[in-house]
């Protein structure tokens, strides 16, 4: 093996530059071509946010249904149990954008019992084969304990007594004033 006068540094630098250029080209192809390719052969998806909500709460259901399995003009319908999507388990529909993505907002009925529910989707007459999980908690009962009179627990009796005392004192003062006004005339 011949030794170069520069210690072989130029050859190594050339190889490193070439490897760096090749890596950069691969990165450009993956980053630039990846989203277009991914949209063409994407798997269907569905998600729900938030994943835990009280009965009566609102959720956002999003996902994607590729056009290969369901023609573009067809809408997506969310499905689940009839307690989540009354009366028959078929929920609302959504249109898809040019990439197959859909999104909708749904208010969980207040009558929905607490529990974990599977949410699926249908398109083109069939299930798309994906499921999202939604946990429904019991709806809160009554108003929050804010300290506003009767809604706050264990604080209404003392304030009722204070209020009744003030009314009684005001009544006594009005009666005294009238009696004094009657004597003065």
Q: What was the pLDDT predicted at 166?
A: 82
Residue 16 has φ and ψ, to the nearest 5°, of -65, -40
Q: Please state the domain extents for the chain.
A: 1-41, 45-137
Higher pLDDT among residues 9 and 125, named by residue? 125
> Token pair of 35, please?
């989203």
* Position 36 confidence tier, pLDDT thresholds 50, 70, 90: very low
Give the integer Cα–Cα distance in Å for 48 and 59: 7
CA neighbor of 61 nearest in space, from 80, 74, 42, 33:
80
Higher pLDDT among residues 109 and 68, named by residue? 109
Are 94 and 140 in contact by the 8 Å Cβ rule? The answer is no
**Which residues does 122 contact at the CB level (< 8 Å), separation at least 6?**
76, 77, 79, 128
**Residues above pLDDT 70, as percent of the chain:** 67
CA neighbor of 65 nearest in space, from 121, 111, 149:
121
**Which residues does 152 contact at the CB level (< 8 Å), separation at least 6?**
145, 146
Q: What was the pLDDT predicted at 170?
A: 81
The pTM score is: 0.55
Q: What was the pLDDT predicted at 10?
A: 64
CATH class held by domain 45-137:
mainly beta
Give the integer Cα–Cα distance in Å for 158 and 147: 12
In this predicted structure, the answer to whether residue 18 has a pLDDT above a threshold of 60 is no
């Amino acid at each position: 093996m011949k030794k170069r006068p520069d210690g072989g540094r130029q050859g190594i630098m050339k190889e490193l530059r070439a490897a760096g250029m090749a890596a950069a080209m691969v990165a450009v192809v993956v980053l630039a071509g990846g989203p277009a390719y991914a949209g063409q052969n994407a798997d269907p998806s569905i998600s729900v946010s938030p994943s835990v909500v009280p009965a009566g709460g609102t959720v956002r259901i999003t996902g994607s249904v590729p056009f290969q399995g369901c023609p573009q003009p067809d809408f997506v319908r969310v499905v689940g149990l009839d307690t989540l999507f009354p009366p028959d388990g078929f929920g609302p529909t959504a249109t898809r954008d040019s990439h197959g993505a859909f999104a909708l907002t749904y208010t969980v009925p207040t009558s929905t019992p607490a529990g974990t529910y599977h949410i699926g989707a249908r398109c083109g007459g069939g299930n798309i084969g994906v499921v999202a999980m939604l946990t429904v908690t019991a709806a809160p009962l009554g108003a929050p304990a804010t300290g506003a009179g009767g809604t706050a627990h264990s604080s209404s009796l003392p304030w009722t007594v204070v209020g009744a005392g003030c009314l009684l004192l005001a009544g006594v003062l009005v009666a005294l004033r009238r009696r004094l006004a009657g004597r003065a005339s």
